[in-house]
Amino acid sequence: MGTVGTATVWIESDFFCVTKLTIENLVGKDAEKRQAVALRVDGDKAVFYQVRLVGEQDTLLDSNGTHYFYKSYIEGSVDFICGNAKSLFHECILYSVAEFWGAIAAHHRESPDEDTGFSFVDCTIKGNGSVLLGRAWGEYATTIYSNCDMDDIISPMGWSDWDVPSRQRTALFGEYQCSGKGSNRTGRVEWSKSLSSEEARPFLGREYISGDEWLRLQ
């Protein structure tokens, strides 16, 4: 069934809100069935607060829509946050269980006309096994890490073009004021970016997902 048909929970409705729920898909622990989605989200304007998503490959299929993940825990190994949504991950824990190699994010934006991307702000990255920050699943993949604490599990190169060199010119992979041993950009691929404060500003707050129009947070 690949990625799209394996979800434990599949959300298609708009304005969906989940709080303090654990969603798991452990099928991926079987070497013959690596792809196993815990949560697939296709609805627009969804909020996930203190949610635990546990899996291995493709744990979160953040497929379509605008979403807010706040103080949540996401565990996996290969591309464990993937899809073409426009999502803000704020104060989340990203936990790698990669055995040999892995990647946190695989964004699937294919066109410059699409307004999508993953923004990770004030997140903590830890676990075991070397992982990339992101892979360019789509030609215009967009993934930004800002003010994140990165453990030494981050592969020095940081990013991958998915073996499609043309994506080096079109993908936007950036880091801004991150900390921890894994934030050392010395070995990063040259086509990734160390963002200035001006470049990072659009990705830093709830404005990134037009949160003032639909989020109601105390």
- Catalytically active residues, by annotation: 58, 79
Strands 131-136 and 159-160: parallel
Phi-psi region of 71 (alpha: psi -120 to 50; beta: other; left: phi over 0): left
- Rounded to the nearest 5 percent, the helix, strand and coil shares of the chain are 10, 40, 50
SS3 68: strand
155 contacts 126 by C-beta, under 8 angstroms: no
**Which amino acid does the sequence have at 96?**
S
